[in-house]
Structure 1
Amino acid sequence: MTTAATRPTRDQLAAAHGTTIPDVIAPGLDVLFCGINPGLYSGHTRLHFARPGNRFWPALHRSGFTPRLLRPDEQHLLTGWGLGITNIVARATARADELTPDELREGGAALARRIAEYRPAMVAVLGVTAYRGAFGRPKAVVGPQPEGLADTPLWVLPNPSGLNAHWTPDAIAAELRRVREAARSHRGPSTGTDSRDRFG
């Protein structure tokens, strides 16, 4: 497997169009993060949020979810901290705006089924525009949503892509800290593991 440190060529990126990457998921997670869909860099490396410049991994660490800054090729460590990653749409594209409205709606329905199966304590969707399209909620804004998904509390977070210049790394980390605090309050002792034992 290509590591995130190995930069793919232009041809390799083009070949990654339409590929999929496995979820990082397990039953009973504290937070399941949900991206829009993989970019070509992630499709090539088979790693989530792999493109250099993506703010997901630094913001995750700054928010206190992980004890150190992880590399994309360390994504398998997340489940040990009660965290996971999936996507609304599985196929890799160069830009999220290549996705069709039908793909987003179908992806939203598939995400609801995944949540019902794995039962995370909270879901955090990274991208408000995609969330609006996938779930037919055109007025949704970043933050906790009044409607959950599959009986699970849901937050919408900023898209951490480097193309999203409206949100700084510190602002994204601040939103993640809000999710972290909310997740700590949602995770009860019935699972046998309190989320505070996992991420502070």
Structure 2
Amino acid sequence: MAKRPTRAELEAARSRVIQDVLPADGTRLRVLFCGINPGLYSGASGHHFAGPGNRFWPALHRSGFTDRLLTPAEQTELLSHGLGITNLVARTTARADELTPQELREGGRRLTALVERYRPRYLAVAGVTAYRTAFGRPKARIGPQPEPLGPAKVWVLPNPSGLNAGWTLERMVAEFTRLREAADAEDDRAGRTSAGR
């Protein structure tokens, strides 16, 4: 078990950037998960969704995306499941509300380029308010979105931060499961198409 960062280490992590979890070029992603931006705990550890109250990893496992509960330090193991992680904004902050609307819109443009390059089947944005701002979709709701982003279908997930008290882990797991089932159905369709050639 990694030791918890000290208060000084957390403060030193402000504005730090952590690496995306992305495959080698040419390797297709089933789902690219996109957080809003790293929190201080993630910035200090160098791992996505690393805060002690963050529910991303339990929701990912309990929804069937992974066969066991991964720790944030095992984030690169997601690649073997066809999954990746990025953020709308790379800059580390204590809270997502420290980001400006301009940063979120710029993040939306960067994410569009990333999706064009890596071509995931699904882009899953974890945070509906950030998604609305980044892509100018003020009425967007949690769940599948009518508009794709380039080659990717878009699914908006609840923000898994422990600060998002309106969503229990059980409700998050149900939404992650809906996404996983949709991604599985896409995989089945793609398999049938290539088998029929």
State the TM-score bracket (shorter-chain normalisation): over 0.9
Letter of the structure 2 residue corresponding to residue 44 of structure 1: A
Question: Is residue 57–residue 71 contact of structure 2 (8 Å, CA) maintained in 1?
Answer: yes
Partner residue, 2:191: 189
Q: How does 1:33-112 map to 2 (within 5 A)?
A: 33-112=33-112
Partner residue, 1:157: 157
Partner residue, 1:195: none
C-alpha distance after superposition, 1:48-97 (max 9, x if no partner): 00011100000111000000111110111000011111000001000000
How far apart are the structure 2 equivalents of 1:28 and 1:118?
7
How far apart are the structure 2 equivalents of 1:113 and 1:161?
26
**Unaligned runs of at least 5 residues, structure 2:** none
Deviation at 1:25, TM superposition (A): 1.0
**Unaligned runs of at least 5 residues, structure 1:** 193-200
Change beyond 3 A, Cα 1:9–1:174:
same
How many residue pairs get aligned? The number is 189
How far apart are the structure 2 equivalents of 1:148 and 1:61?
26
Deviation at 1:151, TM superposition (A): 2.6
Letter of the structure 1 residue corresponding to residue 92 of structure 2: A
Partner residue, 1:197: none
Question: Is residue 121–residue 151 contact of structure 2 (8 Å, CA) maintained in 1?
Answer: no
Q: Secondary structure at the match of 2:53?
A: coil
How far apart are the structure 1 equivalents of 2:33 and 2:50?
15
Give runs of ≥4 in structure 1 deviating > 2 Å. 189-192
How far apart are the structure 2 equivalents of 1:72 and 1:169?
17
How far apart are the structure 2 equivalents of 1:127 and 1:29?
20
Deviation at 1:5, TM superposition (A): 2.6
Partner residue, 1:173: 173
Q: What is the TM-score when the length of structure 2 is the normalising length? A: 0.93
Deviation at 1:190, TM superposition (A): 8.4
Asked if residue 122 in structure 1 is aligned to residue 125 in structure 2, the reply is no
Instruction: Supply the RMSD in Å over aligned alpha carbons.
Output: 1.4
Equivalent of 1:10, from 7, 11, 16? Answer: 7
Q: Secondary structure at the match of 2:156?
A: strand
Letter of the structure 1 residue corresponding to residue 68 of structure 2: R
Equivalent of 1:24, from 21, 24, 37? Answer: 21
How far apart are the structure 2 equivalents of 1:129 and 1:52?
22
